[in-house]
Amino acid sequence: FCALLHSFFPDAFDFAALEPSARRDNFALAFATAEERAGCAPLLEVEDMVRLPVPDAKCVYTYVQELYRCLVAKGLVKTKKR
């Protein structure tokens, strides 16, 4: 999530300084950045992401869809016209 958000908001945080082992901190940073910069509703909780080795795929997919919708609304992602 941090890599995805950093690609849209490179000035939000120093991606190179993140520690992969600091999962809880990285998720918190990603979710806070998504909410602050993209207006993305906090549909996931940090605890939900770190409790299991592999987070629930449907929850992650729902969050990514919401993030995409918010990025489109802000004009940061272009969609094809039908």
Domain boundaries, the chain: 1-74
pTM here is: 0.89
d(CA 25, CA 5): 15
Question: Which ranges of 34-78 does DSSP label H, i.e. alpha helix?
Answer: 46-51, 57-73
Contact 30, 50 (CB under 8 A): no
Number of H helices, E strands in the chain: 4, 0
d(CA 81, CA 8): 22
Please report where in the chains the tokens 């592999």 appear, as a residue. 54
- Tens digits of pLDDT across the chain (82 residues): 999 999 999 999 999 999 999 999 999 999 999 999 999 999 999 998 999 888 899 999 999 999 999 999 999 998 877 6
Q: Which fold has domain 1-74?
A: Actin-binding Protein, T-fimbrin; domain 1 (1.10.418)
